[in-house]
């Protein structure tokens, strides 16, 4: 819980930065209340306490896990995406100055892990600094370069996209956040209607919430975001083209988990299972039941029998888990990544993709 002095600091900070950007005084009480209820303010969460025992946040993490870190990042030359060259102190979540500092207000171009720089985010550019993931097509390609597709390599470890990479998925094949298989074409930016085409035109900039009423003007009759359908194509071949686009994505995703497990068992000889809550997420399935139990999901039991083909599919599987709103941010990009992962695995093991359609 924030102390009275802490709340006063928030208000004073916001007043100071807001005065530089607008002439009318904002409703500080309402803004503070909305921010305090958001994940950005939850200073007791793992996102902000992970480094407590270390006594400081390393520069490799501080940009997105500290208000001080992102302010430092945006005030200097941005040479490496999401990285500063010094640690910062504990205790500052994503506060007012993180998004309202001069550096944040003036930000126009955002570098991504793939090496591309994107300048089309407008006023939401600061959101893309942290919601871009920490890896890309290039990361996976570099890790697997020169290795045989189906040969286990001790040099391989799981490559993690990191968390909430929504800016990367929004930009699709421009940012290359997923592993994009060579020779295939991928959906670029998912463009929406003009007045709902940036992060903050859909999400409240302080509470981060999206009101369902924002969508129902066009998507009439829906009760939840995952009911939205943006294409008449029957991607998963179930005959239902009225269901939300989230459903075919979930079906592709489920099929990919099954294909990953089949490939691991038949090609590497070591069964694999996934646990979304425990790093590094893929573990040896010691009892062969298809799930990573609490006793299996421990670091010493992490999966280590990676082949390049398996790693690429697992990377895309993880991307869809860690971007839970991918069905909103770029559904066709999600389906393309999942379909191509299934297709690639089918070159080595039996995977039924006959009824599926790639966007």
H or E, element range at 166? helix 166-171
b/e code 26-64 from CB counts within 10 Å (16+ = b): eeeeebbebbbebebbebeeebbeebeeeeebebebbbb
- Per-residue DSSP letters for 181-210? PTT----------GGG-SHHHHS-TTT---
According to DSSP, the residues that pair with 282 across neighbouring strands are: 274
pLDDT at 230: 87
Q: Which among 102, 81, 97 has a CA at the least distance from the CA of 11?
A: 97
Q: Which among 272, 337, 352, 276 has a CA at the least distance from the CA of 307?
A: 272
> How far is residue 82's CA from residue 66's CA, in Å, rounded to a whole number?
12
pLDDT digits (tens, 9 = 90+) for 268-323: 999 999 999 999 999 999 999 999 999 999 999 999 999 999 999 999 999 999 99
Position 8 confidence tier, pLDDT thresholds 50, 70, 90? very low
pLDDT at 314: 98
pLDDT digits (tens, 9 = 90+) for 55-91: 999 999 999 999 999 999 999 889 899 999 999 999 9
Helices (H) and strands (E) counted in the chain, each on its own, are 16, 4
Average per-residue pLDDT for the chain: 93
Q: Is residue 2 over pLDDT 90?
A: no
Phi, psi (degrees; rounded to nearest 5) at 117 = -120, 130
| Residues 292 and 302 sit within 8 Å (Cβ to Cβ) | no
Least confident of 6-10, 86-90, 101-105, 199-203: 6-10
Q: Which token pair is 136? A: 């890309």
pLDDT at 13: 45
Distances (CA, A) of 146 to 7, 142, 169, 224: 54, 9, 27, 45
Q: Is residue 16 over pLDDT 80?
A: no
Q: Which among 315, 323, 320, 314 has a CA at the least distance from the CA of 273?
A: 314
Q: Cis ω on the peptide bond leading into residue 155 (within 30° of 0)?
A: no
> How far is residue 315's CA from residue 135's CA, in Å, rounded to a whole number?
10
pTM of the full predicted structure? 0.92
Q: Is residue 4 over pLDDT 80?
A: no
Burial class (CB in 10 A: 0-12, 13-18, 19+), 146: exposed
pLDDT digits (tens, 9 = 90+) for 42-65: 999 999 999 999 999 999 999 999
What would the mean pLDDT of 132-140 be, rounded to a whole number? 98
Residue 148: Cβ within 10 Å count: 11
pLDDT at 24: 65
Q: Is residue 184 over pLDDT 50?
A: yes
Cα 252–317–335 angle (5° rounding)? 40
Q: Is residue 146 over pLDDT 50?
A: yes
pLDDT digits (tens, 9 = 90+) for 148-171: 999 999 999 999 999 999 999 999
Furthest CA-CA distance within the chain? 66
pLDDT at 194: 85
For the CA atoms of the chain, what is the radius of gyration?
A: 22
Strands 282-284 and 110-111: unpaired
């Amino acid at each position: 819980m924030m102390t009275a002095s802490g709340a006063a600091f928030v208000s004073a900070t916001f007043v100071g930065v807001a005065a530089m950007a607008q002439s009318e005084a904002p409703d500080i009480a309402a803004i503070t209340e909305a921010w305090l209820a958001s994940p950005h303010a939850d200073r007791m969460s793992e996102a902000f306490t992970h480094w407590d025992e270390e006594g400081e946040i390393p520069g490799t993490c501080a940009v997105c896990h500290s208000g001080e870190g992102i302010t430092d990042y945006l005030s200097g030359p941005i040479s490496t995406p999401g990285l500063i060259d010094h640690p910062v102190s504990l205790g500052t979540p994503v506060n007012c100055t993180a998004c309202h500092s001069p550096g944040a207000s003036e930000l126009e171009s955002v570098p991504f892990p793939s090496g591309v720089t994107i300048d089309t985010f407008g006023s939401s550019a600061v959101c893309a600094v942290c919601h871009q993931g920490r890896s890309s097509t290039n990361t996976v390609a570099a890790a697997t370069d020169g290795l045989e597709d189906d040969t286990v390599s001790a040099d391989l470890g799981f490559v993690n996209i990191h968390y909430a990479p929504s800016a990367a998925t929004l930009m699709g094949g421009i940012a290359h956040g997923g592993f994009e298989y060579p020779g295939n074409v991928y959906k670029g930016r998912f463009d929406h209607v003009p007045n709902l085409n940036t992060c903050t035109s859909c999400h409240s900039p302080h509470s981060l919430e999206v009101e369902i009423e924002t969508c129902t003007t066009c998507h009439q009759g829906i009760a939840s975001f995952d009911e939205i359908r943006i294409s008449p194509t029957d991607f998963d071949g179930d005959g239902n083209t009225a269901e939300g686009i989230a459903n075919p994505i979930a079906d592709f995703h489920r099929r990919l988990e099954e294909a990953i497990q089949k490939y691991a068992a038949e090609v590497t000889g070591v069964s694999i299972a996934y646990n979304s809550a425990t790093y590094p997420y893929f573990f040896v399935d010691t009892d062969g039941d298809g799930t990573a139990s609490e006793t299996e999901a421990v670091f010493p039991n992490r999966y280590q029998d990676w082949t390049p083909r398996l790693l690429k599919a697992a990377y895309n599987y993880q991307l869809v888990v860690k971007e839970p709103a991918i069905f909103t941010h770029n559904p066709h990009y999600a389906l393309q990544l999942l379909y191509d992962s299934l297709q690639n695995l089918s070159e080595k093991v039996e995977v039924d993709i006959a009824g599926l359609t790639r966007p």
